[in-house]
Structure 1
Amino acid sequence: MPTATEKIIELQKFYQSTNKPIYAAHPRSKYYLIPYFGLLGVSVAATLFYTGRACFGIKDKK
């Protein structure tokens, strides 16, 4: 069983040897990044959509 120091050295070698950005280096990072960027894209798109409607004075139908 590796000690804490050995595990830190293993992880340091892993992160320093990869060519990916640090936030995408971990094997499970896609499970965090895909939903994050998906929700970010949806929220930015909705904000820009309703900002455009407000600029042109378009109101919702009642």
Structure 2
Amino acid sequence: MPSPQRIIEMQKFYQSSKKPIYMAHPRAKYYLVPYAIGLTLSVSASLYYTGRAVFGIKDKK
């Protein structure tokens, strides 16, 4: 279990930050940038192939 002193220290850190809670941590960009890239690529690919299916476009063999 984390020490109570560490919990209070982290609470003060997050409450004093002017950034949104998900960006407050110093390593947040290292977690969020790859997540955003992966999410964008997967949604884009899904929409691309959904559009092809709706219009009946087949791959050339």
TM-score, normalization by structure 2:
0.90
**Percent of aligned pairs sharing the same letter:** 67
Cα distance in 2, alignment partners of residues 11 and 47 from structure 1: 39
Output the aligned Cα RMSD. 1.3
2:35 corresponds in structure 1 to 36
Cα distance in 2, alignment partners of residues 27 and 40 from structure 1: 22
TM-score, normalization by structure 1:
0.89
Unaligned runs of 5+ in 1: none
SS in 1 for 2:47: helix
1:50 corresponds in structure 2 to 49
1:8 is displaced (CA, Å) by: 1.1
Size of the aligned set, in residue pairs, is 60
